[in-house]
Amino acid sequence: MKTYIVKPGDTIHKVAYHHQIRPFDLLIFNPQLITDSDYIYPGDAINIPQVKQEKQQVRPSFEYEYGPVDLEYDVNELQRLYSRYMKTTTIGYSVMGKPIMMVKIGTGKKEVFYSGAWHANEWLTGKFLMMFLKQCLHHIATDEKWFAYDLRAIFKEVTLVIVPMVNPDGVELVQQGIYPDHPYFEEVLYINKGARRFDHWSSNIRGVDLNHQWPAGWDIEAKESPQEPWPRHYSGQAPLTEPEAKAIYNITNQHQFAYVLAFHSQGQVIYWGYRGYEPDESKEMVTKLSLASSYEPIHTADSDGGYKDWFIQETGRPGFTIEVGNGTNPLPLSAFSEIWSNNAKLALAGLCL
Ligand SMILES: [Zn+2]
């Protein structure tokens, strides 16, 4: 038996994966843990059983929660491996000071923007974008086609800008919970009415919903939403008060994105309109995205204040919200295979709209 001290970002699935054992093995040898979705907190000591070689089970890499620690590691690793093809920038910092990372691939004039993990309990979208990035880089480097897409040729025409995780503090909260050393311990517990589970949390760490922060019908949305910091749907005291939203606002203004795709979960639908501000070509584009993914196009979500709403209103160019997966947020890890198979093709089609 070994002892392992829990680190920031750890979960039962992640620790089990890194020790090549099953989450179930951890539960057996740590009676304080009841289910594999229990939180484990930084500094906790947990027992790691030595499982016999033949019982060891190497788990596929997507079967654990994907958080800011994983993201930072993967981005740096990819940057090291594929420095010829990608460029990483930190575009800002979350409320708790985590970097908000942006990656660019391609040298084309047409700039396209993909973003994910806006909502804390929708972190599978961040995992998806990182896997998509990894596959794109692999196919560019080996000069192999991916689903008949010639990525080397495409990335001469297109520059893809990706921010895989807009809300790193919120993602970490959903995955690891809260503990007394956490800098927002009191505030978060107050917002959450004392409850210690955060599965329903979609806001940032201050209880502001980063996709309700945008100056496009913000007043209307704010009036109909919670009036104080809340696990979801609170629009903030004004548009763009939060550093995470501000970082996206700044880079959107610094680029000329031809269109944007914002990944959320869930529903298996694609929203493509905003109060009639969307251009004519949006309809043709959403048809292509729908054919690639089998997700259903829906004109509007009957809401305001979202990033794609603001993008459409502000620029007159197309914006899309992709609602990946089906079920209740946070979607279980097992939802990932559907998300991957439908959205890898959608995200490829998205390069060529
Ligand atoms: Zn969302």
* Beta strands across the sheet bearing 110-115: 86-93, 99-105, 158-163, 110-115, 257-265, 319-324, 269-271, 296-298
The pLDDT of residue 62 is above 70: no
For the chain, the farthest-separated pair of C-alpha atoms sits apart, in whole angstroms, at 63
Average pLDDT over residues 203-211: 98
Alpha helices for 19-114 (secondary structure H): 23-29, 68-81
- Taking the centre of ligand 1 as the mean of its atom positions, its distance from the CA of residue 253, in whole angstroms, is 22
- Taking the centre of ligand 1 as the mean of its atom positions, its distance from the CA of residue 221, in whole angstroms, is 15
Cβ(337)–Cβ(302) under 8 Å? no
User: Rg (Cα) of the chain, in Å, rounded?
Assistant: 20
- Taking the centre of ligand 1 as the mean of its atom positions, its distance from the CA of residue 23, in whole angstroms, is 28
Cβ(233)–Cβ(191) under 8 Å? no
The pLDDT of residue 56 is above 60: no
Euclidean distance between CA atoms 128 and 123, whole angstroms: 9
Residue 60's pLDDT is what? 46
Torsion of CA 212, 90, 121, 220, to 10 degrees: 0
What the block records as the tokens of 353 is: 């709209």
Torsion of CA 257, 261, 263, 267, to 10 degrees: 160
The pLDDT of residue 260 is above 50: yes
- Taking the centre of ligand 1 as the mean of its atom positions, its distance from the CA of residue 163, in whole angstroms, is 15
Estimate to the nearest angstrom the gap between the alpha carbon of 210 and the chain centroid.
Answer: 12
Between 109 and 61, name the one with better pLDDT.
Answer: 109
Q: Say whether 197 sits in a helix, a strand or coil.
A: coil
Per-residue pLDDT tens for 269-324?
999 999 999 999 999 999 999 999 999 999 987 889 999 999 999 999 999 999 99
- Taking the centre of ligand 1 as the mean of its atom positions, its distance from the CA of residue 20, in whole angstroms, is 32
Q: How confident is the model at residue 57 (pLDDT cuts 50, 70, 90)?
A: low
The pLDDT of residue 142 is above 80: yes
User: Mind listing the domains of the chain with CATH numbers?
Assistant: 2-55 (3.10.350.10), 68-169+242-352 (3.40.630.10)
- Taking the centre of ligand 1 as the mean of its atom positions, its distance from the CA of residue 323, in whole angstroms, is 7
Lowest pLDDT segment from 60-69, 197-206, 208-217, 232-241: 60-69
Share above pLDDT 90 across residues of the chain, in percent, rounded to a whole number: 90
Lowest pLDDT segment from 55-59, 103-107, 163-167, 294-298: 55-59
Per-residue pLDDT tens for 103-134?
999 999 999 999 999 999 999 999 999 999 99
Q: Report the interhelical angle of 336-349 vs 124-142 (nearest 10°).
A: 50
Residue 342's pLDDT is what? 95
Euclidean distance between CA atoms 274 and 59, whole angstroms: 42
Contacts of 156 (CB under 8 A, 6+ apart): 106, 107, 108
What the block records as the tokens of 309 is: 């709403």
Lookup result for tokens 């229990």: 38
Q: What does pLDDT average to over the chain? A: 95
- Taking the centre of ligand 1 as the mean of its atom positions, its distance from the CA of residue 281, in whole angstroms, is 24
Q: How confident is the model at residue 50 (pLDDT cuts 50, 70, 90)?
A: confident
Q: How confident is the model at residue 51 (pLDDT cuts 50, 70, 90)?
A: confident
Give the catalytic positions in this structure. Answer: 323
- Taking the centre of ligand 1 as the mean of its atom positions, its distance from the CA of residue 123, in whole angstroms, is 9
